[in-house]
Each structure stands twice: as structure tokens, then as C-alpha cells.
Amino acid sequence: MSLVAATRAESTKQFTTSMWWLLGVILVAYVGFTASALGFALGGSTTGAFGTGQGPVLAPEDLPGLLYSSATSVGYVFPLLIGTLIVTSEFRHKTLTSTFLATPRRGIVLGAKLLVGAFLGLLYGIVGIVAAVGPSSAFLAGFGLETELTSPDTWAMLGRMLLSYVLWVLIGIGVGALVRNQVGAIVGVLVFTQFIEPIVRTAAGFIDGLSDAVRFLPGAASDSLVGTSIFTLAASTGSSLSWWAAGLVLLAYAAVLLALGYLTTWRRDVS
């Protein structure tokens, strides 16, 4: 079977299940709620609508990008999860055997998953950006602040956010190819992204020398790729990577995980 045919089959496999749109709905709700809460709190404190001393006061020109970037700073876990599920669902439901029988060349199967995953990353990115920009820009306009939606810099940032979503899906596929157990892979992803890395990044603001290493963590690299993040409200963690270097770091994570997964788990016999 050719890569085109394998990709068509993979697309059918993914889009005839409910998992992709269920995660998409949760993504919209989570990012939309976060953006709304931040837009209300930061917009009010920046303009002084809540009085003085009621929260962080930011430069008005920095606020739109920070609010819009919530699509990636808190929403990146969703493309990571869908990428992981693209692979681990095959192991869990024992459909990988029939997949390999239909397409004996396992590299083509993995390539098809990467192509479909990249499309899902773009789809999730668009949905996440709309969920963040919609309420954020409404609150900015309501508080009399500029939305910066006509700025080329804003649109360049949104483009980098789309790229971030695609790279996170590819990283997720790498995780899924390396870890067969779906529950173990999902728990590992959630523990690392929601607990371990945030704790390490917070600690870097208080431990000398740690910030130089922390900027190479995947979440920190994703924030650097986008250019801003709500985590900039926390203690400074030193200089960040340039956006293109951060993109290469995320790509390297995906490449290493995919290579390890292909050379180990992906080449094993399946039952």
C-alpha cells in the first residue's frame, strides 16, 4: 500500500471515532475559559478598573499577545494527547495487527500517522486560537484596550502557534510509538506536562543556573516558539530561546521519540 492510500486509511480510522472531536470540545472549553478569566482579570487590573493593588499591571501593548498565547501555554496538552492516542489506541484495541497486514511496511504506517497527525495539529491549532482570541479580544475591547488584531506581529505569532500545535502532535505520536500502554502513556504525559515541568520551571526562578537548562524543556521551548506566555507572569527564568531555535528543540524532541519508538516498540511483533 502506498503512503497516499495508507494516509487515506488512517484518516478514515481517526475521523470515524469520537475521540478527536471530544478532545476538541474540551480544548475549546478549557482554553476559552482560561482566556476569558485572564482577559477579565488582566484587562481590569491593567486599566485600573478594579482599583489599585488588585493584581499584576502589564503594559497594554503586551496584553493581547499574552492573552492570545493561552491557546498554546495551557492548551498544548491536547495536541500532545491526540498524538499519543493516534498510536496507543491501536495497541489498546488490538487493531495494529490488521493495520500491518494491510500495510506491511511499518515505516509507511508511521508516516501516514504523522501526516494525519499534522492535519489534526493544524485543526486543533485553529480551534484553540479561535477559543483564545475570541473572548480575549472581546474583553480587551470592552476595557478600551487595543486588540492588535491588525498587527503583522500578532498574525506572525498566531502562525507560530499553529506550528507549535503541529509539533506537539508529532511529539505525542513519538510518545505513543515508544510506550505501548495507553494508560501509562497518557498518565506520563499528564504528570510531566501538568506537574513536573511546571514545578521545575517555577523552581528555576529561585535556583541559580537552573534556568539555562529549563529553557530547553518542551513546554518552555513551546512558549519561546510562540514568543510569549502567561508563565511570564511568574518569576523570571532567565533568557529564552529564539523562536526558530525553540522550534528546532521541539522538532528534535519529536525526532528522537519517533526514532526510539520506531527502533524499539514499532518493530516488535504484535499480537
Convert 133-150 into a string of H (helix), E (strand) and C (coil).
HHHHHHHHHHCCCCCCCC
Burial label, 119 (beta-carbon count in 10 A; 0-12, 13-18, 19+): middle
Phi-psi region of 89 (alpha: psi -120 to 50; beta: other; left: phi over 0): alpha
User: Within 10 A of 124 (CB to CB), how many other CB atoms are there?
Assistant: 28
Round to whole Å and give the CA distance between 170 and 164.
10
Least confident of 79-88, 201-210, 235-244, 250-259: 235-244
Q: What is the pLDDT of residues 195-236, one digit of tens each?
A: 999 999 888 877 877 888 898 999 999 999 999 998 866 545
Q: Please tell me the total number of residues recorded for the chain in this structure.
A: 271
Count of alpha carbons within 13 angstroms of residue 234, beta-carbon side:
16
pLDDT digit string, tens, across residues 168-199:
999 999 999 999 899 999 999 999 999 999 99
Name the region of 270 (left: φ>0; alpha: ψ -120 to 50; beta: rest).
beta
pLDDT in tens, 142-167: 999 999 999 999 999 999 999 999 99
Residue with cell 485553529: 126
- Lowest-confidence pick of 10-24, 91-105, 151-165, 228-242: 228-242
> Who's near 109: CB < 8 A, 6+ residues apart?
6, 10, 99, 100, 103
Per-residue b or e along 198-225, where b marks 16 or more CB atoms closer than 10 Å to that residue's CB: eebbeebeeeeebbeebbebbbbbbbbb
pTM for the structure as a whole: 0.94
The number of beta carbons lying within 10 Å of the beta carbon of residue 270 is 16
